[in-house]
Every structure is written in structure tokens, then in C-alpha cells.
Structure 1
Amino acid sequence: MLQLTSKCATYDYYRAIEKLANNTGVDVPPSKYRSLLRMGIQWRHLKLMKRGGRGHDETGVKGTKDGELAVVCPSCPHPGINLPVGWESAPDGMKFLYFVFLCMDANFRLKNQLVSNYSADPGLGTGLAYMIKREPLEEYVKSRIKDLDEESTKGCGLQAVEQAHTRFNKGLRYTGISAVSCGRSEMVMPCSIGNLKKGEKYANMDYGFGRVLQFLFVLWVLISYDAACHWFVNLYQRIREHWPEDIKPKEGVSIEPLIPKLHDAGHKKTKNHEQFSFNLFKGVGLTDGECPERIWA
């Protein structure tokens, strides 16, 4: 709770306890800092399982499904929970009520240094809440390593896409993360956060977006992404030819790309660029699509 409310680092917390025990510095007790780190990680993991109700399931922790421990977004449409019967046959003028608003972005401030390794320090619950499982993500990204799709983004005017292959990565295991959040309540979606090896590549963003689609059971998805005007061009082709079956969208799902309002001004306008504007898309109201920026902040 202290870490949550005061943003206090574990090291500072331990140093405070150490000083309270012996502030002279003469007879310093043996360091238990690394033990405290391990206990903190284990405690959070157990709390996550407890709050997810895994103790009431006969399959226990091992039976936990991907994304099952993530908090479900209350403002997203969920058939059988907060949608009326027959929502799928709503007239065109009322379909906006059942849109899923998603916002996708990358953050290059959240880096992971090349220290230790995965076999020595694996995650306890990776893939069970918000993070994407490491192995399938990296396997897919590696399979698309020769893709040159990103070259089509040259001239877009955004560094995120123009530096997709050249992002600084010296001494880093991951240069940042990608994430997908709800455009209404800014809640992070299940299995939506993925590691970026080197820049904001289509393969990374595709996989994160596809994983989120598996948790949605509606027909209309609006995706806000600062590089949507280029990312979306060959999206359906990539889905057909490259996406693994377990992340492909369900049949009948309509995907509409939009560019966040603040980022839209930074784009070099091309022909028909207005189709990506929040200001002109019917049913979005005053949604700005900038949720990830507020989450990063």
C-alpha cells in the first residue's frame, strides 16, 4: 500500500527499515533486500490469484486461463451482461451504442535492460492478466522479421513508424512496450501489453491487437492508433496470410481505424485522410482516442 500511495521504491522502503533498526551504521545487519524483493513478488502474485477467485476453482492456479485475472472493463459492451437482447440487429443509427472503442500505442520509456535472463528470472503470472505470454509473441514477431511492410510508412510524419527498425536498443532486451486500452474508461485490456524488441513494428502491434480481439464478443470495433492510416492498409491481408489462428478476429467483426485527435495534426495529410478523423466518424461523440497518453502519464 505504501508503494501504491507514495510511489516508494522497494529499496527506499528497505533502507528506511534498516535505519530504524540501526541508524548508527556501525553494526549493520546482514542485507535482506533481495529476500524482500522476492517476497514482494510472491505476495503480489498470491494476491492476484486470490482476487481472481482461483482458490474456489478445482483446477486451482494451473487452470487459470489467459487474461482471466484482468479486471473486466465495465464500460465495454459485453453480450449477456450489459447488452439488451437483439443488440446485433440494431439499426444503423443505433449501432454506436455497441461499439468497442480501443486505443493502441507504444511506450519507449518502459525499457528492459539486458540483465539476467528469462530462464533465471521468469514471470510468475505472465499472460494471466495484462501481459502477453512471451513465447508466442516472440515466435510470431520472429516469423515476420523479414517483412518490409513498415517501409510503406515513410513520409507519415511520425517517428514511431519511421524508426520502426532503427529504434535505439543498445544494452536493452526490450526497447519498450505496446498496449491496448479501452477508449471509454481507459482500462487496460486483457493480454494487451507486449514487449517491443526493436521499435514499433507491425508484427508487435498486430499480435497485441489480435489477442485483445479474443476477449471481445461484439461486431463493431473502433481502433484508435497514431499510425492507423498506414498500419490498416494491409491489415486484412496480414490477418489472412500471417496471423496465427488463435488471434484472428471472429467472423463478422467490423474493424474501423481512427487516428487520435492530438496526433492527427502531426500527420502529413494524404488523399482520403479524413476517413481516419474522430471529428467526422458518426457515433464517437467527443471521444479523442488519446487514452494511452494519459495512461503513460
Structure 2
Amino acid sequence: MTIVHTEGIFTHEISWCNCPGERLFPASITKPKTAFTFDVLNHFLIDALECKTSAMSFYQKLKRFTNNAFPDCIPDRYQELMRVSRLWRDLKHRKWFGFGHDKEQDPRQGELALFCPACPQPGINLPPDWKTQYDSDTIMRQYVMDGNFTAQHMKMNKPELDVSLADGTGYMVAEKPYQAHLEQSLDNKERSTCSNHRAINAANINKSNLQALVIYDVGCQWSINFQSRVKSSCSLHLPPSLEIIPAVGKFHLAAHKLSCFPRYSLNFIKGAGHLDEVYDDHMRDSNWKKIVNMGERPFLQREVNLPCTSQFLHC
């Protein structure tokens, strides 16, 4: 069997037994050839939540733990990880909320969701007179948009094969009311008054083959019709006196028109924070992967003298 663990991916001969305390999760129900340890499934769950690690990146990391020079020699169990991690996540959630394997009752709508204690709740984490006690700079609602990233869910040829494990029991709406909402929604294309951004163009493409499209970080365009959409929306109930301050992230603002800078830059918005990011480690790792993969495997197995110069390392 192929055993996927936090320290790598290994092949072992297995003698089946009923020993208590065993912690292997099979990748299939009958005649499994692959199993994941509980530890690696827990690690992937936390990595996905805390580090936003994708399943592909996580499995590539395990392959490099096993053999950093020749990761392609490691068995490919990416699809198995996708399936098992989904089951593992559902089991952990059900256990967390008290729906064990010995209970016949399934969770109902919203019963696998946690209440957010950080959301402003007058009388709970805000005093009842918060409107008069705090000024506008202390209590402010903030929306963060990022337009370079999209979530596209293509319509499936066989939607009956896409089995939901938690349809509406968490934070996402159930499938039937969501489809009813889509049937009533109109797809309006808007002309950009700013630069020719990819995010805006993606919003205006033909979405006949898409089930859902989420686009962010074009604040100059997003804010134009935001108030009117809020007034006509049945799902958003914002105070009419609420002031909306649109902004564009610094990384994306450089691609906007010059007139967007003084109006939407975080440098001129009171209360906005500043931060710097370090990319050295990521670039170093990127160069290492180029070195590993830049030649054929027989070439890499030979003894070669690679030039150790900054020009080579930064190629």
C-alpha cells in the first residue's frame, strides 16, 4: 500500500489486523491501495485554513519531503487526497457539532455553522448606546475587494455526480434556493470608466457556462452602483446613513488610471494600515525548483558542476 504521511509518501506491505488505536484512513471503501494517516489529514486541514494551501501544493510538498531531487518519482495520489480530505473535513465538522456516527439525525440548515463573536452585536460586544458613545473613526464597516482573483464554477455535464456532503448546513446557501435566485437574477454588462482591467473584462464575459463568478478589487468601478444595488437587494440591509469609502489595494492601484490614485489610495484614507511583505524566501524556493527541473532526469543524475553565481541563481 501507498501510505501518505506528514513526513512523506511511502510504500509498505500491510498485514491487516483489528488492532485498537490504528490511525489510517483508506482512500477507497473496497480493496484500498492507498491510505492517509490521521496526522497528514489534520495537517492539510490546518494548512488550508491558516496558510490557504491548495491540495496540489500540499501534495507537492509531501513529494519533496520524500525526495526533493526527484519528486516526480513519487506515486501520484493527488486525486485521492482531494476525495479523502473532503470526507475528512465533513467528518470533523459533524463530530464538532455533535453529529456522531451513532446518531441517525442529519444536521439541518445552518447547524454546522459557528456564530461569529467578532460581528458587532449591540448588547453583546457593543454597548446599547454605541452610536452615541463612539465616533465614526472608532466604529467603521470595511469591505475588502480583490479583483485579480475569480472563483469560476463551471456547469457540470453530469451534475448528479456532484454529491454535496453539507448542502446548506454550514454558511453556504442550499442548492435549491440558490438556483431559484439565479433564475431571477439579471446579467448586466457595464462599461469601465477606468483602465482596461482584466478583472472588469472577466466580469463582462459571457457567463452562460458558469454557475457562479466572484470578482473583487476594482473599487473605482465597484463603488459606482453599489448604493443603488444595496437599495434594490433583499439580502443586504445597510443603514441609509452609512458612508461607504471605496479603496483599491496598493498592488493593484498601479494598473489604474492616474486619477484613481488620490481618490482610492490607502495612503490617504484615515485609519488604513501599512505593511511590507518579504518575498526572498519564495523567490529562493522558486529558483531551487527551476534548478531541479531545468534538465532531463538522466542529466540531473550525472555528476555536474553548476556555476554558483548570482546571474545563474536569478535566471
1:72-126 Cα offsets, whole Å, 9 max, x none, are: 374x5443443334212235xx333222333233565765566553322232224
Structure 1 residues 268 and 98, CA gap change in structure 2 (3 angstroms): same
- Identify the structure with bigger relative contact order (alpha carbons < 8 Å, sequence gap 6+): 1
1:3-60 Cα offsets, whole Å, 9 max, x none, are: 41696549x99xx9xxxxxxxxxxxxxxxx99987665334213213324567xx9x6
Q: How does 1:136-285 map to 2 (within 5 A)?
A: 136-148=177-189, 150-151=190-191, 153-166=192-205, 195-196=212-213, 226-241=217-232, 243=233, 245=234, 247-252=235-240, 254-256=242-244, 257-270=246-259, 274-282=262-270, 284-285=271-272
User: Secondary structure of 1:239's partner?
Assistant: helix
Q: Once the 2 structures are TM-superposed, how far is the Cα of residue 229 of structure 1 from its aligned partner?
A: 1.4
2:141 corresponds, among 78, 91, 100, to: 100
Q: What are structure 2's unaligned runs of at least 5 residues?
A: 1-38, 48-52, 67-77, 278-315
Instruction: Report the equivalent of 1:221.
Output: none
Instruction: Report the equivalent of 1:185.
Output: none
Measured in 2, the distance between the counterparts of 1:250 and 1:144 equals 21
Measured in 1, the distance between the counterparts of 2:131 and 2:58 equals 48
For residue 280 of structure 1, what is the amino acid of its counterpart?
Answer: F
Q: Once the 2 structures are TM-superposed, how far is the Cα of residue 226 of structure 1 from its aligned partner?
A: 1.9
Q: How does 1:4-83 map to 2 (within 5 A)?
A: 4=44, 8-9=58-59, 40-52=85-97, 61-65=106-110, 69-70=113-114, 72=116, 74=118, 76-83=119-126
Structure 1 residues 35 and 70, CA gap change in structure 2 (3 angstroms): same
Is contact 1:48–1:69 with CA below 8 Å preserved after alignment?
no
The share of aligned pairs that are identical, in percent, is: 24
TM-score (norm 2): 0.50
User: Secondary structure of 1:97's partner?
Assistant: coil
2:132 corresponds, among 89, 110, 132, to: 89
User: Secondary structure of 2:161's partner?
Assistant: coil
Structure 1 residues 123 and 280, CA gap change in structure 2 (3 angstroms): same
Is contact 1:158–1:266 with CA below 8 Å preserved after alignment?
yes
Instruction: Report the equivalent of 1:2.
Output: 40
For residue 113 of structure 2, what is the amino acid of its counterpart?
Answer: L
Instruction: Report the equivalent of 1:286.
Output: 273
Task: Report how many residues are paired.
Answer: 210
For residue 226 of structure 1, what is the amino acid of its counterpart?
Answer: D
Q: Once the 2 structures are TM-superposed, how far is the Cα of residue 160 of structure 1 from its aligned partner?
A: 0.2
TM-score (norm 1): 0.52
Given the alignment of the two structures, is residue 117 of structure 1 paired with residue 171 of structure 2, yes or no? no
Structure 1 residues 109 and 267, CA gap change in structure 2 (3 angstroms): closer
Q: Once the 2 structures are TM-superposed, how far is the Cα of residue 146 of structure 1 from its aligned partner?
A: 4.3
User: Secondary structure of 2:145's partner?
Assistant: strand
Structure 1 residues 230 and 278, CA gap change in structure 2 (3 angstroms): same
Aligned Cα RMSD in Å? 4.5
Q: What are structure 1's unaligned runs of at least 5 residues?
A: 17-32, 175-194, 197-203, 206-224, 291-297
User: Secondary structure of 1:258's partner?
Assistant: coil
Is contact 2:247–2:265 with CA below 8 Å preserved after alignment?
yes
